[in-house]
Structure 1
Amino acid sequence: MAVPLSKDLLRAEFVGKTLHEVITPAAVLDLAKVEVNCNLMLEAAQRLQLSWRAHIKTHKTEELTRLQVGDASSSPVNLIVSTILEAERVVPLLQEYRDKGRQINVLYSFPLYPSSTPRLAAISKQLGPRAVTVMVDHVDQVAYLDTLTTESGGIAPLVFLKVNVGSDRAGVVPGTSTCTSLITALLASEAAGASELLGVYSHAGHSYATREDWEAMGILGAEFEGLKEVAEEVQREQKKAHVQNPSHTTHRPLVLSVGATPTATTIQHPDLDPSSSAPSHSEPTPNPNPNTNAAAQTTHLKSLLHTLSTQNLTPEVHAGVYPTLDLQQLAAHARSAPYLHSGLIALSVLADIASVYPLRGPSGETEALVNAGSLALGREPCQEMVGGEQYRGWGIVMPWGELAAEKVPVPGEGFPREHGGWEVAKISQEHGVLRWVGGADDEVPVRVGQRVRIWPNHSCITGAGHGWYLVVDSRNTGREDEIVDVWPRWNGW
């Protein structure tokens, strides 16, 4: 197990310095932007009375986890982790919240496998009943639930049945015999006391490929509908089991947990007015085409959420990268420009320009060498749209420092189809090559020794290359580049 980094030592090293005084490459977080992004999500979930589950895989820090769940709130603290190490590291925070009277739960979001059970059992012992949830998407995994319960001293885990709603990464397909077999096995496990079926879960990773404002809201509706189909099958099987054995029944609402940042953040749409009267009918309006305007999407989603509430189902939303955002999220256009723009990207990678190469680009553009390559930025492209010339870079230099006064271009409403400025055109392990994209007459000069900040394509992958975040706060007028904190990451597995 990785040894945690000392926050005190890191603070002693960096706090009070500016971004011009630290070694590079370095991951930088803007606290002002992180707080805005977190608060928007908390406020939207509260307005719509949705259960909220924060994924902490992007940042893997205690500090940002507090912001995601509302540190001073009394609401349930429901988390998702992508590694067991994250779960182990977040245990003290969860114990703190539990001791303050908040309901706690952490979901390990990978289908259960044999070597995971001892560590998950240890976490379950530390946190107590109903605090650990696991994921299952194959009938052969159900046997591990009994192992986990035994190893945790009789504390049965909660379980999400993972459903594939189109991303084809993991999960069972609704309406298939495989899905039915898994439901049967999970209900048998629950009857035996080896687990408790919390609900059904999906991750709409394919929503990253959306390109129209609020298009992702249509995918969110489709997610809820896909999970509703599975949940209704579960409820039918529960009723059958009750007829056969009246002692085996449950009245707990099944949780329908949906999300990915493009879909989850669409609940912030201003037209999702919770004060409007709920539809009187019991069936949702027809699901519009994903390209239909936002008004039709919001009408459908409100109607669907009302329907779920009448069927003993609890809608839950989850997301992870929304606190930091990145170029991939701008490319998805899940929200319109006033609600999603480059000014909300909270993560950047600080780098030094080591060399400049005039006229070296394929069309005679200037290129420059920075000390941030694939290990500092990640090697993950933005998903491409079919047709047209798209953004194929590995990051875009943000307007900051010497480049801010020159007003370098930033991604706008036409991104990724329209893009320009200094972009990371090529990367290798430690090398990044900036290239000017745009007219030669508009090229903003750079120099050897200049320091730049680069917006990454995918914050989750970028963060993995760094042991900590240097935290600045752009609200500190005149001291925007001063480091106010350091947040160590929980890297590893």
Structure 2
Amino acid sequence: MAAVQVNKDLLRAQFVGKSLNEVITPTAILDLAKIEANCNLMLDAAERLQLSWRAHIKTHKTEELTRLQVGDKSSGPVNLIVSTIIEAEKLVPLLKEYRDKGRKINVLYSFPLYASCLDRLACVSAELGAGALSVMIDHVDQVPLLASLASKSGGNPPLVFLKVNVGTNRAGIIPGSPASNALIDALLASEEAGSSVLLGVYCHAGHSYAARKDWEAMGILGAEFEALKQVAEVVRDKRAPGKDPLVLSVGATPTATTIQHPDLASTDSASNGHDTSGVNGNTNGADILTTVPTQHLKALLKTLKASSFALEVHAGVYPTLDIQQLAAHARDLSLLNSSMIGISILADVASVYPARGPNNATEAVVNAGSIALGREPCQEPDGKRYSAWGLVMPWGALANSQPVPGADFPEVHGGWQVAKISQEHGVLRWVGRKEDEAALSVGQRVRIWPNHSCIASAGHAYYLIVDSRNVGREDEVIDVWPKWNGW
């Protein structure tokens, strides 16, 4: 069953108007200025390139940030992705609001369909109406569930994305495989029987998080489109005529955000000084190897549009960003740097231990461990470049002394880092020259940028909202956003 949601009015009465030095810790903080800016960058890029946009809400699980992701005042379609059914259930009032304003709505449950989720998804579909619910299919044995879902939802056939594996190996079919061809046949039969509507093909390039060069993820974006094109062409050749164009939905925050590259929006073939080197890959899920500049991607988008496919990008962590995104270098420093990270975890320094760490480094313990920060490392196979669980943000007493990750991160990193975590304890360690050490004291407060904001957020019931545009009141809580935790 759904988890109990904390009351927003009570939270606002408790926190709004207080300073971050007055609230309880550990707690998750969002900077409204930064997440608004990150959302607008994505909306503007998708509009410039005439790409459909589908926002994933799993990172934050809030109504307020969902509104920013889809452009609250826009008149365009509202396409969303959820990872838990409770997210879809909690979105129903907002989607009804947008539907009543004339916006086309659709929410995708982005997990392969299984029997025990049908009743709850059917309720969402029944409330929102025909065409509003999409589901994910990647195995022929899931296809019979579509008829049951349509029946339970009052006759609304679900829209279906065929999930394609482009190398992450988490879920999805391999393009060109016997399993892929069998699944295509089964889905087309389901569509002809009126049990579903095949919306398109979908992939998630989670392996793009391991990229480490500026704009490298752009090549992976091209590989995503190429893989989906291979599957979609098979579907198109077998499908009955007169259907809507298939949607090719690609994305993960590293790949999706590369559409912000300035050259993609221009007709000039010059690189404007930006490093457009990247990687591409074959379409059978193998590793990514070859270079694809912006001009190749521009040509690919043009070809796909001319082939009567509808092109869609999706992403989720881009509004908040995190340390993993800085490590991936999906964009250059002008469009991806630490000043754009919109989430931090506020914690108290409970004790300080001089010379306890390696090479006599100072350590300190804070009241934010794995439950408050998450336990997800950056993808650093050798463990040599960055192995911490978060970086301390330059804020408060550390505003002018804590270094920030730069163009050479994660190969080079220094300052106060979360070196170790247990359930409630986080151990900070100074990395760098002893003479440069920024002093920490017992009772001091710090804000920590987490490695992965999705996982860090999961340990918190709400976000305290600040706005760095409020000069002189940057640390004042202006709102509280309850989260839709649970499943």
TM-score in terms of structure 2 length: 0.95
Residue 307 in 1 paired to residue 303 in 2? yes
Give the Å deviation of 1:4: 2.2
Give the Å deviation of 1:363: 1.4
Number of aligned positions between the proteins? 472
In 2, Cα distance between the equivalents of 1:83 and 1:326? Answer: 22
In 1, Cα distance between the equivalents of 2:266 and 2:54? Answer: 20
1:57-456 to 2 correspondence within 5 Å?
57-238=58-239, 242=240, 249-273=241-265, 297-384=293-380, 386=382, 389-405=384-400, 407-456=401-450
The equivalent residue for 1:22 is 23
Give the Å deviation of 1:237: 1.0
The equivalent residue for 1:280 is none
The answer to whether the Cα contact below 8 Å between 1:48 and 1:274 also exists between their aligned partners in 2 is no
In 2, Cα distance between the equivalents of 1:274 and 1:136? Answer: 37
Return the letter of the residue paired with 1:21: E
In 1, Cα distance between the equivalents of 2:93 and 2:27? Answer: 27
Runs of 4+ that moved beyond 3 A: 274-277, 287-293
Return the letter of the residue paired with 1:19: L
SS in 2 for 1:250: coil
Return the letter of the residue paired with 1:251: K
The equivalent residue for 2:275 is none
Give the Å deviation of 1:408: 1.1
SS in 2 for 1:272: helix
Return the letter of the residue paired with 2:403: P
The equivalent residue for 1:49 is 50
The answer to whether the Cα contact below 8 Å between 2:220 and 2:280 also exists between their aligned partners in 1 is no
In 2, Cα distance between the equivalents of 1:310 and 1:180? Answer: 24
* Cα deviation digits, residues 448-480 of structure 1 (max 9, x gap): 000000000000000000000000000000000
In 1, Cα distance between the equivalents of 2:117 and 2:305? Answer: 35
The answer to whether the Cα contact below 8 Å between 1:163 and 1:172 also exists between their aligned partners in 2 is yes
The answer to whether the Cα contact below 8 Å between 2:466 and 2:478 also exists between their aligned partners in 1 is yes
Return the letter of the residue paired with 1:437: V
The share of aligned pairs that are identical, in percent, is 70
Give the Å deviation of 1:288: 6.1
SS in 1 for 2:469: coil
- Of residues 442, 454, 458, the one that matches 1:460 is 454
SS in 2 for 1:271: helix
In 2, Cα distance between the equivalents of 1:274 and 1:131? Answer: 34
In 1, Cα distance between the equivalents of 2:106 and 2:5? Answer: 23
In 2, Cα distance between the equivalents of 1:344 and 1:250? Answer: 45
Give the Å deviation of 1:56: 0.2
Which residues of structure 2 form unaligned runs of 5+?
A: 270-278, 282-287
In 2, Cα distance between the equivalents of 1:325 and 1:250? Answer: 41
In 2, Cα distance between the equivalents of 1:226 and 1:419? Answer: 36
Give the Å deviation of 1:421: 0.3
* Cα deviation digits, residues 254-279 of structure 1 (max 9, x gap): 000000000000000000025569xx
Give the Å deviation of 1:297: 1.6
SS in 2 for 1:161: strand
Give the Å deviation of 1:6: 1.0
Give the Å deviation of 1:153: 1.2
Cα gap change, 1:84/1:354 in structure 2, threshold over 3 Å: closer, same or farther?
same
After superposition, the CA RMSD in angstroms is: 1.5
In 1, Cα distance between the equivalents of 2:280 and 2:106? Answer: 34
SS in 2 for 1:218: helix
The answer to whether the Cα contact below 8 Å between 1:157 and 1:195 also exists between their aligned partners in 2 is yes
The answer to whether the Cα contact below 8 Å between 1:209 and 1:385 also exists between their aligned partners in 2 is no
The answer to whether the Cα contact below 8 Å between 2:78 and 2:105 also exists between their aligned partners in 1 is yes
In 1, Cα distance between the equivalents of 2:477 and 2:326? Answer: 26
Which residues of structure 1 form unaligned runs of 5+?
A: 243-248, 278-286
In 2, Cα distance between the equivalents of 1:274 and 1:9? Answer: 49
Give the Å deviation of 1:5: 1.7
Give the Å deviation of 1:127: 0.2
In 1, Cα distance between the equivalents of 2:459 and 2:157? Answer: 36
Give the Å deviation of 1:362: 1.9
The answer to whether the Cα contact below 8 Å between 1:211 and 1:385 also exists between their aligned partners in 2 is no
Give the Å deviation of 1:291: 7.5
In 2, Cα distance between the equivalents of 1:411 and 1:347? Answer: 16
Residue 4 in 1 paired to residue 17 in 2? no
The answer to whether the Cα contact below 8 Å between 1:200 and 1:257 also exists between their aligned partners in 2 is yes
